[in-house]
Amino acid sequence: MENQNKIYDLEERTALFAEKVRNFCLKLPKNAANVEYVPQLIRAGSSPGANYIEANESIGEKDFKMKIKTCRRESKESAYWLRLVITDGSIEQENKRAYLRQEAKEFILIFTAILKKREMLEKKYKEPNNKEPNNK
């Protein structure tokens, strides 16, 4: 089972997720369904980390929000493909799948919270006498 201590550096956490998804996929049985599902899962599982890095290097607020929305969408897609892939039925693979699905669901919540906070700040700084913050 995975270490239950969560990493709060989101870049690192999403990178570790991508690595764990890749390693999980490498151990899945080869069959007609997984031939289709596994590439989708690997792409979706590595996308939140790459897009989060891009969001942190964004050129503006709209770009930032679009990248975070992409992170959230790809996290949802990761959970979907994790549901569909066919494991060998072992407790080890099923536990790994459950862990990865939970991590994907937590990413969805994290990215949603980031978006809501940004929208709240946007509304706050649109009010008269408030200055927009310089940082993201």
Q: What CATH architecture applies to the domain 10-126?
A: Up-down Bundle (1.20)
Q: What is the pTM of this model?
A: 0.85
Determine contact, residues 14/49, Cβ cutoff 8 Å: yes
Q: What mean pLDDT do residues 106-115 have?
A: 97
Higher pLDDT, 3 or 75: 75
Query: What values do phi and psi take at 113, rounded to 5?
Result: -65, -40
Distances (CA, A) of 21 to 32, 63, 104: 19, 27, 10
pLDDT tens track for 46-72: 999 999 999 999 899 999 999 999 999
Picking from 82, 75, 21, the residue whose alpha carbon sits closest to that of residue 48 is 75
